[in-house]
Amino acid sequence: MELKPACVFDCFAQVNKVPRPSKKEERMIEFLQNYGRQLGLETLTDDCGNVLIRKSATPGMENRKTVILQSHMDMVCEKNRDVDFDFTKDAIQTEVDGEWMRAKGTTLGADDGIGVAIQMAILAADDIEHGPIECVFTRDEETGLTGAFAMQPGFMKGDMLLNLDSEDEGQIYVSCAGGVDTTAVFHCTQQPAPEGYFFFELKVNGLTGGHSGDDINKKRANANKVLARFLYNSMQKYDLHIADIQTGGLRNAIPREAIALCAVPMKDKENIRVDWNIFAADVEEEYSVTEPNVKFHLQSADAAATVIDRDTTRRLIIALQAVHNGVLAMCQDIDLVETSSNLASVRLQDGNKITVVTSQRSSVMSARRHMSNTIKAAFELAGAEVTVGEGYPGWKMNPKSEILRIAVDTYKELFNKEPRVLGIHAGLECGLFSEKYPGLDMISFGPTLRGVHSPDERLLIPTVQMVWDHILAILKKIPTKE
């Protein structure tokens, strides 16, 4: 399939050559700085590493309001276990599959690299009409909204902002959820492994995963919860020990894989295998529609030298079984998730602590606090040390938004259909911008992405042209300054 607009996909190819893991965006910052300077444009970088490139208006449009085009420069770095790839060094390898672009066994980085590419193409273009433009590239959006948190008022000068970090073409977002991380730590001791026990590795993989906000209502399985269910059942029947547990991944991704090294008395070896097979069949039936590729593995393992102490093992398993995961409440006025929680990862670290990371989201601040307290209480009852992060705010809809009216009108003119105006159950940097720039008029939109935050991430190619045409139409319609 031909990649159109070529100017955008050429820029996207350049972006994907630059390693840009969250919190390690130094090479991307340098790349963007050089890009702006090579174009002869004013290029600024704040103390955090956010980059801003200004482009003057085309002749006759100097008195229009200034539009900010904004995306984040970092990407979620997830890969399939059998793929040899170093996100700190290697270029993303892309391929076209029909109308979709994807990467070879890794995240594609279209979240939000395609937004970066659109901005780059607009900065380089000499054949489009626009008023004054600021292109802003924030860092570390995915693991803490660090760039947006650190940005000082006055860095951006514009009047209207187009956030290019949404994932459904034809949908314009005008509000978002706030979020917070809740982390539990179980301190444990290592004990000599019991003799005469069968050691085995349990693995759940092949799950769909996805974004822990946008996909949380799609009834996808959470690998951590699936594994916890089996461990809880087994603990009731057998003298179960855990030697290691490594599950899940990033806090904002629905876990696709969970692994634990366990042991039971040798006399229960066959029973545990039978239980696992029955359990696997039950879960496959439960998720027959949303998780057609789920895989369950139980294989013999060499005996470990030590295991986690019995008391911590019991408290951990009970907590993982009990803690809420998924949607808690839907919005009362629109069909949108209001409040949710994601059990993101469980990791034995340094042999003496088990860290459990969870993430809560809500468009209602009091409900977000309630959800976080619910998670905190469950872990506190299990004897864990619990910390709650600073969190980030939601973004409330502006019913008098001028940029929204322009975006809706131009969309209808271009495509002869109405766009959907929505809120999103995910964190957008607009929430933080609304605090630092209270008068800033904002919307968020972008081309269609699927499977974000997972190696299944893919970009629907034809929608990039649609978004490009839409942005150019919006830029032509920006009103003059009062």
Instruction: Enumerate the domain spans of the chain.
Output: 6-177+394-477, 180-388
341, two tokens? 């929680």
3-state helix vs strand vs coil in the chain, percent to 5: 30, 30, 40
How does residue 396 score in pLDDT terms, banded at 50, 70 and 90?
confident
**Domain 6-177+394-477 is found in CATH 3.40.630.10:** yes
The pTM is what? 0.73
pLDDT at 395: 86
Greatest alpha-carbon pair distance for the chain in Å reads 85
How does residue 316 score in pLDDT terms, banded at 50, 70 and 90?
very high
| Predicted confidence (pLDDT) per residue in 423-481, tens digit | 888 878 998 998 899 999 999 999 999 999 889 999 999 999 999 999 999 999 999 99
Q: Residue 371: in which H helix or E strand, if any?
A: helix 365-381
pLDDT at 271: 98
How does residue 140 score in pLDDT terms, banded at 50, 70 and 90?
very high
What is the topology classification, in CATH, of domain 180-388?
A: Alpha-Beta Plaits (3.30.70)
| Residues forming a β-bridge with 423 | 175
pLDDT higher than 90, residue 399:
no
d(CA 218, CA 224): 17
| Predicted confidence (pLDDT) per residue in 281-294, tens digit | 999 999 999 999 99
| Predicted confidence (pLDDT) per residue in 95-130, tens digit | 999 999 999 999 999 999 999 999 999 999 999 999
| Residues forming a β-bridge with 52 | 44, 136
How does residue 155 score in pLDDT terms, banded at 50, 70 and 90?
very high
pLDDT at 432: 92
Q: Residue 172: in which H helix or E strand, if any?
A: strand 171-176
d(CA 377, CA 185): 13
pLDDT at 262: 98
How does residue 249 score in pLDDT terms, banded at 50, 70 and 90?
confident
Which residues make Cβ contacts (< 8 Å) with residue 438, sequence separation at least 6? none
Which amino acid makes up residue 203?
A: K
d(CA 110, CA 152): 27
| Predicted confidence (pLDDT) per residue in 73-98, tens digit | 999 999 998 999 999 999 999 999 99
Q: Name the residue with higher pLDDT: 411 or 451.
A: 411
pLDDT higher than 80, residue 385:
yes
pLDDT at 324: 96
Tell me how crowded residue 390 is: count the other CB atoms within 10 A of its CB: 9
**Active site positions, annotated:** 74, 141
Which amino acid makes up residue 413?
A: E
- Quote the Cα angle for 444-450-456, to 5°: 140
Q: Residue 368: in which H helix or E strand, if any?
A: helix 365-381
pLDDT higher than 90, residue 333:
no
d(CA 335, CA 197): 51
d(CA 356, CA 347): 7
pLDDT at 247: 95
pLDDT at 303: 96
Output the DSSP codes for 438-456: TT-EEEE----EESTTSTT
Residue 320: which of 382, 240, 242, 237 has the closest Cα? Answer: 382
Residue 254: which of 82, 456, 432 has the closest Cα? Answer: 456
| Predicted confidence (pLDDT) per residue in 22-68, tens digit | 999 999 999 999 999 999 999 999 999 999 999 999 999 999 999 99
Tell me how crowded residue 24 is: count the other CB atoms within 10 A of its CB: 15
55, two tokens? 């482009």
